[in-house]
Structure 1
């Protein structure tokens, strides 16, 4: 029995679902967005393939009861399934009618990407078991965010594109051109490993609160908080180097949600840290804060703002052609069609009322799961993590107003990871409450994807 127990402990420390999701997060954020795998019939990134692999593993693991996959649903998991059914229906509806071959190929590609993202959400939801493993994935997210911010900092400070050397032999560049340093209206901004500075800024805003969360609660786990505060500083600097209005709006959204739930002492501490950070930025990078000031004071004369607004009548006209189910996901693309720098308009055109309901509903059900977990839990760390997840998950709803968010693969995949994380935390808290209601009972170890020792038992 001792030998079996030792084997069990050894295998519990091996790779599991959380390990796989951590690899997915690292690959997602640290692989340059323009790189796709060679030899495939459609453009797929390494992250897309990992998402499809995770979905396959999720399906196979659910055919057994011995691989540690969570069984049973909760509100967030049901919301993910509802989104999946909506996407499958919308694809079938569009494919059933006539679509030009190029638009049908684009719809096929969009469906594959949607399945890959669903793999990330469901993998998070069912394969990440327990608080420690959820923390493991979210800490990997912070590490990936630091790496992305460092790449952006090198681009902004030195004008050197490190992503040109972040290329494996199995990868090749797609047709999308990404400028390492972009200048608009005399303002320098960088994309890091993403496809655009807007995406870079919004992703930094979504990851920043997790570094702050682990900084606040590091001492509770017997750790030094210094590395987490250093990570938060680097990620915040990355947000500044993106020089993006959408990034600023995203971080303001995150801050607003956090301030709603934080105690007064933490609010004042955070305001002091923000003032100190901005003062340091002013000293080290004198023109950076002025660039942000120009972005917002120049809104009335900014061509990009006028371009975003002028396409509204065209979008409404196209939407009214098929208001309920749209013309097909992925079928409205540049340069064949006019670009809508607004995800709500684009979703209305491509997927109609059903599509936009599915998109908004997916984000809101994730936020609901985090808020519900905060309400049910009495653990300060769980409550703050739930607040952090809610703040990060709701960001895409605001970002979708300012740019076509779902056209950017990294932030789209990160959104699904966030929804899955909300599902994990809600499941953990609900399981704890059910366990308390039943009273003490023997605890069973959670098993991951790899349970080679199962036969030995």
Structure 2
């Protein structure tokens, strides 16, 4: 079968490529990676990068007979440019080595996802290929659901078994754990929420396959039912939301008889769950309706306050793509919050456009189908699946989980392919394969102007960027000396460091230190994080201080001021309680283990990002100019000899 943008003499079945990608996602758990690449080194991620390379080669070598562009192409271009702008902003902000490495891993993951999307759009060019791709997605959901059911009933951990030779374990996530006394299934996903996300994304596709089946093919309902049964076993709100979206969709596309059968099956299933797993449905109900008392909900509200403060620091371009490391700052169970912090309002606008544009494209393409109900419901199933991923991305950072991210990319790619075929009517239409026209001088001038503007903005940002310095030190508490009093048996001073950590983070103390020109500092207890607004807290009587400033001398001075203030606050607490001097907890005389180091800016990385943005913008403008009437130097002759107007 011919691949859309490759020379027509070459033939192979591109579906095999995507089936291999899906197999790597499911059967090679993402905690096992190629060690030098870290978290971005999953086999599926590397495979996606290879697809991007193949797509670029295909586009570059098909200059005279090129597939047209779909809305998904333009949405992906906008999204990638927004992420790269955030990357450049992050490289021109003082960052540490952990943030820099995380950002580079993020670029690898982004390249992988873009490769999957673009390769799917430009190779799935017939209705048979699109149908086979969506059936493969349903197969992924079915396999994952079966794994979940086996996991729940037997406790078998697939993650420990599916460790491919040559890969290194990168984290301790995955496997079984409990909630409210029930095992939470995850299959080979990292977390039960990722499991629910993947099932929720493909559940509408399974519903489409089931509803369109005949009585002779009753078994086509099994994938839908298996996925539906597995979702409550995640014991997660995300699972309940995914199940609700799937049920609403199947109810909308089913026939009258099918709706009655589904209603009866739902009642039987609810009774069976209550009998076999008493308390499970009640637990899920309490998760939904008792959210106000749930720690995870209150934690998300605290995240919102922190996110607002982070975004306020750099509202347009963010702190830097991929630099918001959970181990340094906090875990955000919301992809949109994470994107807003890392890439600012530009990034969040591009992300929303990607989701909304994908959903609308699928709906419009489905609406364009006149007499084929199967094709129409297929398009609506794609829209429902993308809508599920959109909603569930508010419940966890879906781009940070390889399987969830991969499924989203396959869905976006399928939407683009579906749009192209339904709008053009044929993969070989003259509209798609018309020769390219030369650009007019006006449009060429516009392209050059945009490229120069990108370089000028990048040069200006680089010129104004400055590194910073950070001074860190350790504070040691001294317990009261032993003596003939009631504290004779005291061997430690529990709680003092935690209390002081709260006090030092209070607005009053921060305002007072700001009056002394100490604005950027952090206090950590034990092995807690020194990142700003972090929720990574430690414990113990050891405290660490970090102060950041434009020079090493200023950073060291600020650290000393913070240490002095901490001692003053400790004395104030004890003096207000009338504790005798000989019984007071005190600080050691000075900061211990003092280190001063530079937090550099990464000019070379920012320059590479700027060049990439300029090239992408130029390529996009050239592609647009060759297709816009009035901006081409001459008309080109189509393969049939008809003049292109």
Q: Give the TM-score category using the shorter length.
A: 0.7 to 0.9
Aligned partner of residue 321 in structure 2, secondary structure? coil
- The higher relative CO (CA closer than 8 Å, separation ≥ 6) is in 1
Deviation digits for residues 390-418 of structure 1, max 9, x if unmatched?
00001222112222222222112211111
**Separation (CA, whole Å) in 1 of partners of 2:10 and 2:204:** 28
Tell me if 1:390 matches 2:390.
no
**Does the 8 A contact of 2:211 with 2:250 survive in 1?**
no
**Does the 8 A contact of 1:43 with 1:174 survive in 2?**
no
Match of 1:338 among 305, 316, 330: 330
- Equivalent positions of 1:126-165 (< 5 A) are 126-165=122-161
**Separation (CA, whole Å) in 2 of partners of 1:403 and 1:40:** 24
Q: Are the structure 2 counterparts of residues 287 and 32 from structure 1 closer, same or farther at C-alpha, using a change threshold of 3 Å?
A: farther
**Separation (CA, whole Å) in 2 of partners of 1:13 and 1:153:** 43
TM-score computed with the length of structure 2 as normaliser = 0.61
Q: Are the structure 2 counterparts of residues 437 and 32 from structure 1 closer, same or farther at C-alpha, using a change threshold of 3 Å?
A: closer
Moved over 6 A (4+): 11-14, 433-438
Match of 1:244 among 236, 243, 247: 236
**Does the 8 A contact of 1:201 with 1:243 survive in 2?**
no
Tell me if 1:180 matches 2:172.
no
Deviation digits for residues 166-196 of structure 1, max 9, x if unmatched?
1111222112x22522112333212111111
State how many pairs are aligned: 423
Match of 2:309 in 1: 317
Aligned partner of residue 16 in structure 1, secondary structure? coil
Match of 1:86 in 2: 82
Ranges in structure 1 where 5+ consecutive residues have no aligned partner: 1-10, 439-457
Match of 1:96 in 2: 92
Deviation digits for residues 189-237 of structure 1, max 9, x if unmatched?
1211111111111211111222221222234xxx953332112222222
Match of 1:17 in 2: 14
Match of 2:341 in 1: 349
Match of 1:441 in 2: none
Deviation digits for residues 129-148 of structure 1, max 9, x if unmatched?
21111111111111121221
Q: Are the structure 2 counterparts of residues 387 and 268 from structure 1 closer, same or farther at C-alpha, using a change threshold of 3 Å?
A: farther
- Equivalent positions of 1:281-320 (< 5 A) are 281-320=273-312
Q: Are the structure 2 counterparts of residues 261 and 358 from structure 1 closer, same or farther at C-alpha, using a change threshold of 3 Å?
A: farther
Q: Please identify, of 404-413 and 125-134, the stretch whose mean Cα deviation from structure 2 is larger.
A: 404-413
Tell me if 1:192 matches 2:187.
yes
Match of 2:197 in 1: 202
RMSD of the alignment, in Å?
A: 2.8
Aligned partner of residue 425 in structure 2, secondary structure? helix
Q: Are the structure 2 counterparts of residues 88 and 17 from structure 1 closer, same or farther at C-alpha, using a change threshold of 3 Å?
A: farther
Match of 2:114 in 1: 118
**Does the 8 A contact of 2:386 with 2:408 survive in 1?**
yes
- Post-superposition shift, 1:301? 2.3
Q: Please identify, of 81-90 and 51-60, the stretch whose mean Cα deviation from structure 2 is larger.
A: 81-90
Tell me if 1:215 matches 2:210.
yes
Aligned partner of residue 183 in structure 1, secondary structure? strand
Larger radius of gyration: 2
Ranges in structure 2 where 5+ consecutive residues have no aligned partner: 1-7, 432-645
Q: Please identify, of 74-83 and 291-300, the stretch whose mean Cα deviation from structure 2 is larger.
A: 291-300
**Does the 8 A contact of 1:51 with 1:119 survive in 2?**
yes
Match of 1:277 among 257, 263, 269: 269
**Separation (CA, whole Å) in 2 of partners of 1:280 and 1:213:** 25
Q: Are the structure 2 counterparts of residues 268 and 299 from structure 1 closer, same or farther at C-alpha, using a change threshold of 3 Å?
A: same
- Post-superposition shift, 1:354? 0.8
Q: Are the structure 2 counterparts of residues 343 and 437 from structure 1 closer, same or farther at C-alpha, using a change threshold of 3 Å?
A: closer
**Does the 8 A contact of 1:323 with 1:352 survive in 2?**
yes
**Separation (CA, whole Å) in 1 of partners of 2:174 and 2:23:** 22
**Separation (CA, whole Å) in 2 of partners of 1:353 and 1:107:** 18
**Separation (CA, whole Å) in 2 of partners of 1:189 and 1:297:** 20
Aligned partner of residue 324 in structure 2, secondary structure? coil
- Post-superposition shift, 1:78? 1.5
**Separation (CA, whole Å) in 2 of partners of 1:70 and 1:292:** 51
